Amino acid sequence: MKSFFRKDILEMSGYVPGEQPKEKGIVKLNTNENPFPPSRKIKKYLSTLDIGILRLYPNPESCELRKIIADKFAVKESNVIVGNGSDDILNMIVRCCTDKKKTMAYFDPSYSLYPVLAEIQGTECVKISLEKDFSIPTEIPRKGLDSSLFMITRPNAPTSNSFPKKRIREICSKSKGIVLVDEAYADFAEDDCIDLLGKYKNLVICRTLSKSYSLAGIRLGFAIASEEIISQMMKVKDSYNVNRISQEIAKIAILDNENFERNINLIKSNRKFLIDSLRKKGFKVIDSQTNFVFAAPPGKSGKNAKETYLHLKKNRVLVRYFPGKTTGKYLRITVGTKLELDKLISLI
């Protein structure tokens, strides 16, 4: 039996996404979903949709959607590629740039999917530990900068902090390969790296509608980069990677700036409330630039984090706990509605 599959695949264990409980009435603060609804204009689109068009393939290159994204970021359509979630984008760049003879660098802790994508591709990882305060180390190992691909989550997950833009510039200019800045949470942050795109020809910026646009359910991510990079990514993308309905919903959502900004502001305000409340309870909370917080319960041992996680779970409040020497001291808690956060705080 074993001989049917590649050894790499047989030996790997696969990515484990956050729990998606089937039960109702759970306060779900474990997968960084936006607690507020997406643009109401989507409702009108779906209720008047002629389902006859579903028999036709979608536009393979998502042209209209890419034009809307390009306009928003003041780039050209040829600088944009769209994916079935930003995970699809990350997978494309891994397949474009890496193989068994190359390496892929990333910081630890950051998005736990990166090493899984490298494993599937059979690529060696260069894992660079962040400092104790989750900042980028002063000296970035040469092996990281020599990698064919360097993945950076900014702001970072699960730690919620951002990195100085100066350090991103430094990595772009010193790297021999592509630098992918994963800006899944950038809409909740003080700044982003879009303005660096013109300056570094090895830079790819990745975004998603899952968090800031409340659309994790439709799977829509995109990347912005030079035409040269996008044209290579286009070759490895699945021919019809984004379905008809998701293309349309994404167009509507991106054009509804009012709903977008309202939700972002609500989350920022709830984030402040959550951080303040946790700190009052003695938690160590990292200054968050995202729609979640990374918070360590009082006491030095990692035991407290796991115990708090289990206590909350027993009381139908899900947060995310990542075992491990550093991350095991903390809980990652999504910024929910005021009501959800009240319940969380009352349980702690």
CA distance 180 to 178: 6
CA distance 255 to 182: 22
Least gap, CB of 80 to a second copy (angstroms): 17
Least gap, CB of 138 to a second copy (angstroms): 26
Residue 149's H or E segment, with its range, is strand 149-153
Q: Which lies closer to a second copy via its Cβ, residue 46 or residue 310?
A: 46
**Residue given tokens 């990677």 in the structure block:** 241
| Nearest of 14, 46, 11, 7 to residue 215 by alpha carbon | 46
Least gap, CB of 164 to a second copy (angstroms): 25
Q: Which lies closer to a second copy via its Cβ, residue 95 or residue 329?
A: 95
Least gap, CB of 259 to a second copy (angstroms): 11
Least gap, CB of 255 to a second copy (angstroms): 16
| Nearest of 250, 260, 340 to residue 292 by alpha carbon | 340
Q: Which lies closer to a second copy via its Cβ, residue 16 or residue 74?
A: 16
Tokens of 266: 């609500």
Ranges of H-type helices in the chain = 7-11, 41-48, 63-72, 86-97, 113-121, 142-145, 165-174, 227-236, 244-255, 257-280, 303-314, 338-347
Q: Which lies closer to a second copy via its Cβ, residue 93 or residue 168?
A: 93
* Alpha carbon 179 to chain centroid, angstroms: 16
Least gap, CB of 55 to a second copy (angstroms): 4
CA distance 233 to 61: 12
Q: Which lies closer to a second copy via its Cβ, residue 4 or residue 325?
A: 4
Q: Which lies closer to a second copy via its Cβ, residue 215 or residue 296?
A: 215
